[in-house]
Structure 1
Amino acid sequence: MNDVDTSASSAAADPEARTTIPWSVGSWTTPPVSAVEEETADGVDLLVTAVEGSDAWRHTSYGFVHDTEHALLTPFATGTACEVSFTAAFDAQFDQAGVFLRADDEHWIKAGVEFADGLPQLGAVVTDVRSDWSVGPVPAWAGRVVTVRASRSGDAVTIRARVDDEPWQLVRVAPFTADALVAIGPFCCAPTRSGLTVRFHSWTQSSADSALH
């Protein structure tokens, strides 16, 4: 893939104000089988069908490099935040969706819900040449609307998530070079099967979070 254009973008001054990002403005890291917009009572959803075997990982423990995730990216400037909402309707090992943040092939973060060992798991993979992975089970989130929020400020990215309108949970605070040109957006992968379709409900931008807690 060619690096995504990461020219600076702005968010509303009010941290609670969110600007909707149209599905049509993003660029795919790897094209999915299909990506279809569908009008609903609440707006326009994006239904993304993943390629069997799609994934993102570098080296650690498994020894392989996978860079075939389906991530729809736009510029992500320091001082802004990005939110992606989707339905976590997963039932096959390693089905996953959430937010993907990318500087280049060796520096990226993916965060969201991944189905592992029979349960939806909330977590993140942070990659600085090599990947790491942290997860925690969230069985009560199965089949519900999950929102993942990535906030970029200074030399860090803060990841939070919630289900429906419940309180935010802190997922990760990860280092990320302040002057890196970065892009961000929704992603999904289906490492072990064909036929995974993820329904994304919204993609918004706002000001970065003012505090960690």
Structure 2
Amino acid sequence: MPDSFYWINEPQQWQRNDAALRVVTDENTDFWRKTWYGFERFSGHIFATDVDNDFTFQVRLRAEFTELYDQAGIMFMSDSQHWLKAGIEFNDGAPAIGSVLTLENSDWATGIFTGNPRDFWLRLTRKGDSLRLQYSSDAQHWPLLRLCHFPHGSAKVGVMCCTPERRGLVVDFQDITLTPPLDKALHDLS
């Protein structure tokens, strides 16, 4: 994990070594802007680094999602009103895979996760003004989760977690890598 990572909304409890980051979420932390609920929150935990060019960011996550809206995954952002988060989020009684794209207002796309939600991978590739978001249960097969437009420019990419309804979700982020962009065809799932 590069030394250039830093906290946005640093949690009270966390540990880091060369290979992993462990975070315990603070109480009532969240990311959301306006849609449906009307409120704005940017209090979740982000461990990120600055990016100016195209890249691929990848991470393995381990956590026990048990309470409503428990979540952990990737965060890509230019500021508190323009961001993409993705990962596992506990809702409707089960862990689901999903993403939220926020360009002043948040949207939420979610679906059933067929793998083990306690141990999974995420990958984000930025190419110009496009973001390609993928997930994996085995680090071999990488289905597309989202393809979206995001204005090109200076930004931050990293990992995020939050617990809007409680505190104490323990999340292990492992195998964090930031590399030049994987230049694979859109339907190449390797």
**Normalising by the residue count of structure 1, what TM-score does the alignment of the two structures yield?**
0.82
**Partner residue of 1:116?**
91
Given candidates 153, 176, 183, the residue that maps to 1:203 is 176
Tell me if the contact between 1:88 and 1:146 (Cα under 8 Å) persists in the aligned partners: no
Task: Return 5+ residue gaps in structure 2 as ranges.
Answer: none
**Alpha carbons 2:88, 2:117 under 8 Å: kept:** no
How far residue 155 of structure 1 moved from its aligned partner, in angstroms, is 1.2
After the TM superposition, which segments of 4 or more aligned residues of structure 1 sit over 6 Å from their partners?
none
Give, in angstroms, the shift of residue 120 of structure 1.
Answer: 1.2
CA distance in 2, matches of 1:149, 1:166: 12
Alignment of 1:1-213 (within 5 A): 21-22=1-2, 24-37=3-16, 44-143=19-118, 145-178=119-152, 180-210=153-183, 211-213=185-187
> Residue 208 of structure 1: CA displacement?
1.5
Residues 151-204 of structure 1: per-residue CA shift (max 9 Å, x gap): 0001111100101234101010111112x2111001100111121111111210
After superposition, the Cα gap between the structure-2 partners of 1:164 and 1:89, relative to the gap in structure 1 and judged at 3 Å, is farther
Tell me, in whole angstroms, the C-alpha distance in 1 between the residues paired with 2:5 and 2:122. 18
Aligned partner of 2:126: which letter?
Answer: R
8 Å CA contact 1:88–1:141 kept in 2: the answer is no
- Report the Cα distance in structure 2 between the residues aligned to 1:209 and 1:25, rounded to whole angstroms: 21
Amino acid at match of 1:171: L
**How far did 1:37 drift?**
2.5
AA at the equivalent of 2:16:
E
Q: 2-side partners of 1:167 and 1:34: how far apart?
A: 33
- State the partner residue of 1:4: none
Deviation at 1:142, TM superposition (A): 2.8
Q: Give distance in 1, aligned partners of 2:45 and 2:7.
A: 6
Contact 1:120 1:139 in 2 (8 A): no
